[in-house]
Amino acid sequence: EVQLVESGGGLVQPGGSLRLSCAASGFTFSNYWMHWVRQVPGKGLVWVSRINSDGSSTNYADSVTGRFTISRDNAKNTLYLQMNSLRAEDTAVYYCTRSVQWTTIAAHWGQGSPVTVSS
């Protein structure tokens, strides 16, 4: 069974940093594209970033480019999102997703990790 478990969220001050992790199990992690998607409470889903299976290719939403970095450790079956220069508008639940095999289509979702940026 595919399992994605996010961790690392919490309360951080504006301008601060946080690193989210997503521990994957139940599948061969190194074979799949992965994404981060976020959701402000009460609002819609917003794509944040994606990374290919070996970590050599990454893409970001304009709103986080230059501040967030997606990465992965295939030996540890873990996806990361390093978030720097955090702003109040980055407050959201962050979901880790796994793609359908051979595609970039997000299919399996974690339960999410809440991030609050506030002084």
Partner 1 sequence: QTVVTQEPSFSVSPGGTVTLTCGLSSGSVTTNFHPSWYQQTPGQAPRTLIYSTKTRFSGVPDRFSGSMLGNKAALTITGAQADDEADYYCVLYMGNGMMFGGGTRLTVL
Binding residues (CB under 8 A) for partner 1: these are 35, 37, 44-47, 49-50, 59-61, 95, 100, 103-112
Provide the minimum distance between the beta carbon of 82 and partner 1 in the complex, in angstroms, as a whole number.
18
Q: Which long-range contacts (CB under 8 A, 24 or more apart) does 63-70 make?
A: 63/89, 64/90, 70/34, 70/36
If the CB atoms of residues 6 and 83 are measured against partner 1, the closer one turns out to be: 6
Minimum Å gap between C-beta 5 and partner 1 is 11
Q: Which is nearer to partner 1, 32 or 95 (CB)?
A: 95
CA dihedral 70→52→38→76, nearest 10 degrees, is -60
Whole-angstrom Cα distance, residue 36 to residue 22?
Answer: 10
Query: Which CB, 9 or 110, lies closer to partner 1?
Result: 110
Report the distance separating Cα 71 and Cα 4, nearest Å. 15
Q: How far is the CB of 119 from partner 1 (least distance, A)?
A: 27
